[in-house]
Structure 1
């Protein structure tokens, strides 16, 4: 995705910290799975019926890694999950393996909606979160102080989970679309900072 259009209105929900930088996420084919596609004008990642002929996928499962890499500072981005029945959104170190599932390794962290429940995953440990499925999730990353927060923006901004982690490598946003039903999608509202 590239930011080629006019700037949009500011987010309706307050950002986590004064001076936090909105991340305009961009993607290229290499860090994704062959059954996923990017729709840049719609700011969307979605499944497709036919697998790509490319055989050098970054992941063996339907995950995609953004190009942005954060080693310091405060950053946030929003994910619209309303067009996906099951999903995971989070961050990982660039070293995550191609067969690794987001949140199931020591180098990845995520919020997941599947089997009609919301959970936080890290290092293959699941933590249940008593909350319904958020239609928009905000990820707020403070790399400098080592915190990652997940918010629901469905109505008002609600903190779902916050973790303190001493990141030892830069981190990147990663997304996982469960199942490969056509038009299963995650999108990224084009807020402007």
Structure 2
């Protein structure tokens, strides 16, 4: 118990340290983005201030000209009768000054660099798209662990149809004429992967859109496959882990214990992701559309090879005919 307690303390300490490091990195990223935003906005403000100063100078110029014109008009009116010819020359000069000032202070001559601003918006959009392509970071991380999953038709219950490529499983009311073998489930509607894995980290995704009942997870090859015993069901024994969806409710199962996933009740996911880590002894289920964590099991240490397992469920009163389809987990699924 002392060793387990010490291990728990060590794990909590390492987790807290990692969380602090990640928080710092995210704070650094936010600081970089905030600084870049400040620089960009400052540049735009300086351009606007420069244009505003030019406009103010032109307005002062126009105001001074208006004062001069008012004074000259007063003088012209006073000397109108005595100095007609002089006044005509003066009027011509005044008109020329007015025309020159209007030309110099034309508002159409004052413009922001629209092309540059459009480039700035374009670069900002590209930056946003890049950031979105990297977020959530767990998506990029798990994609690097993507593993190929091929369903073994020799393991599938006779009421399941496995595609020739081994990438989809469909329930049918008809009992298929398939050869009997020790690997085939004869009561539970399960099918297992052909190869599986015994080391490293692996991630795979399953398309569950349009279904009202399904189960999927990870199992040892030793899972019982014959008869009606409860441990033939995924997650009901000690040798398998699964997430189950039934009529809008999610449950995670292991050793026959159900963990109701209340935080995601009412949510509908297009894809479900499953991550397993031999070094960490983890089985982690996610709503792959948004990388929403559903449930995580810590097995401590896996004692055998792991196989991927799927159960498309029965027809559920005519609402559950769509297949479970294995996805290419190395590529992005629905838009985040």
**TM-score, normalisation: structure 2:** 0.50
Q: Does 1:44 align with 2:179?
A: no
- Aligned partner of 1:64 in structure 2 is 191
- Aligned partner of 1:113 in structure 2 is 245
Name the structure where strand makes up a greater proportion of residues.
1
Question: Is the Cα contact below 8 Å between 2:156 and 2:162 reproduced in 1?
Answer: no
- For residues 91 and 29 of structure 1, what CA distance do their matches in structure 2 show? 17
**Cα separation, partners in 2 of 1:95 and 1:173, compared to 1, 3 Å:** same
Q: CA deviation at 1:52?
A: 1.4
Q: Does 1:35 align with 2:167?
A: no
Aligned residues: 183
Q: Does 1:90 align with 2:206?
A: no
- Aligned partner of 1:163 in structure 2 is 297
Q: Does 1:143 align with 2:267?
A: no
RCO (CA 8 Å, sep 6+): is it higher in 1 or 2? 1
Q: CA deviation at 1:41?
A: 5.6
- Aligned partner of 1:81 in structure 2 is 208
Give secondary structure in 2 for the equivalent of 1:30.
Answer: helix
Pairs within 5 Å for 1:121-132: 121-130=253-262, 131=264, 132=267
Offset from partner CA, 1:23-43 (integer Å, 9 cap, x none):
111123211111111224693
Name the structure where helix makes up a greater proportion of residues.
2
Question: Is the Cα contact below 8 Å between 1:117 and 1:133 reproduced in 2?
Answer: no
- Kindly report the root-mean-square deviation, in angstroms, between the aligned alpha carbons of the 2 structures: 2.6
**Cα separation, partners in 2 of 1:147 and 1:34, compared to 1, 3 Å:** same
Question: Is the Cα contact below 8 Å between 2:147 and 2:329 reproduced in 1?
Answer: no
Question: Is the Cα contact below 8 Å between 2:150 and 2:165 reproduced in 1?
Answer: no
Specify the structure having the higher radius of gyration (Cα): 2
**Cα separation, partners in 2 of 1:36 and 1:74, compared to 1, 3 Å:** same
Question: Is the Cα contact below 8 Å between 1:16 and 1:140 reproduced in 2?
Answer: no
**TM-score, normalisation: structure 1:** 0.83
- Aligned partner of 1:3 in structure 2 is none
Q: Runs of 5+ in structure 1 lacking a partner?
A: 1-9
